[in-house]
Amino acid sequence: MPERCAIVGGGLAGLVAYAALRRGGVEPGEIAVFGEDPDPAAVWRRRAAAIRQRRMRSESDGHCLPSTFPGLAVRAAVRRRSVRPLLASLLDRYHPTVAEFLDHVERVRERSGWDRSFRPRKVTRVRSVDGGFELDGDGPFRHVLIAPGHPGLAMPAELVGDARAVHAYEPHDYADEVVVVGAGMAAATEWLNALAAGASVVSVRRREPERRPLNLPRPLFTRRGLATFHASSDADRVSALRRWSAASYPPGPEWDEPIVAAAREGRFRVEASVNGAAQIVCATGFLRGFRHDPLLRDLVAEHGLRTVESWIAVDADSTVPELTDETRTLALSGACAQWAFPGADTLAGARYAAHGFLRRVKLSR
């Protein structure tokens, strides 16, 4: 069969979209996946290893399958012949280990046929043409989903080029005293890592972090919460996205008790600046906005797409309205699709974009 669907991006969001297409009846020979590494977890794996991540922040539905249920808790309960994962999930306390999650990714990769569709190539340009879209001259493809991942690691401007500074998502060890810049999930993880390694920790933060179990308030993962978000004005949507991007990490004694104990011992304190620290770990996340991604920046400029500040104004189903109709589809997935789904950089967000993409593919058959 001729290829009619293309996924630009070989990461986890691309895998979720691929699994959704396969479940929807699209054959591997009809799909081309473009990426730099055939392992869809390659980038995520390196970053998780850098911060010594042991458990997922996401819960039972933080997986790469096209349907939310059954989630990882149900599968773990069946595999272990125990109801404990289900009970933990009911209490919002089920967090699979990184190893369990990576095993799950590998199973989805093998069973979906991912490797049969994968092409080891980075796409640098998506262009609208008769019959669909060309990807660096290859195609045309009638339906394209762009899932490029985060455009890069964010470093505070004053620390760029500073030999003392390393990003949390890059390999590093810990000095006797470590300054951690940031206050989100990666920063909290690094506080505990450095303390466990015997270091003293200085937390440098602009504001106090929020404490919530997930990246976003839970209503934003529901239809009702999304309907309210989609009905809001551009200004209100921008304000909300900025507010929800504030640093946060989960509540609970596993986070608080080591920090309280270290503060009592004089090994943990909060300061306003890095001062003369010998080692600085920047747990400052990722660059934000389409302008930091050359492919998206050129797509916007060449095709005159509507943007609002740093966001591409996609439709509620994550498709690009200027380039999508009854005959073809251009959709975004991952962080670049936040205009449609505030948690677009989560696996639930990737699944949301994948469902919208699949519906469009089916309608055009």
Asked if residue 21 and residue 167 are part of one domain, the reply reads no
3-state secondary structure 151-211: CCECCCHHHCCCCCEEECCCCCCCCCEEEEECCCHHHHHHHHHHHHCCCEEEEECCCCCEE
Alpha-carbon span 191 to 254, nearest angstrom: 12
| Within a domain: 242 | no
pLDDT at 335 over 80: yes
What is the count of structural domains for the chain? 2
* Adjacent-strand bridge partners of 319: 331
CATH code of the domain in which 61 resides: 3.50.50.60
Per-residue model confidence as pLDDT tens digits over 35-47: 999 999 999 999 9
Asked if residue 110 and residue 48 are part of one domain, the reply reads yes
Per-residue model confidence as pLDDT tens digits over 266-297: 999 999 899 888 899 999 999 999 999 999 99
| Within a domain: 134 | yes
| Within a domain: 331 | yes
Alpha-carbon span 304 to 301, nearest angstrom: 5
Asked if residue 172 and residue 126 are part of one domain, the reply reads no
Residue 91: predicted pLDDT? 47
| Within a domain: 241 | no
Asked if residue 148 and residue 297 are part of one domain, the reply reads yes
pLDDT at 341 over 70: yes
Domain edge (last residue) among 282, 309, 341: 282
The domain containing residue 203 runs over which residues?
157-209+247-282
Asked if residue 132 and residue 195 are part of one domain, the reply reads no
| Within a domain: 172 | yes
Domain edge (last residue) among 259, 282, 305: 282
Per-residue model confidence as pLDDT tens digits over 212-230: 887 888 888 888 999 999 9
8 Å CB contact between 241 and 343: no
Residue 332: predicted pLDDT? 98
Only one residue has tokens 């569709």, namely 117
pTM of this prediction? Answer: 0.90
Number of neighbouring beta carbons within 10 Å of residue 301: 9
Asked if residue 192 and residue 116 are part of one domain, the reply reads no
Number of neighbouring beta carbons within 10 Å of residue 275: 9
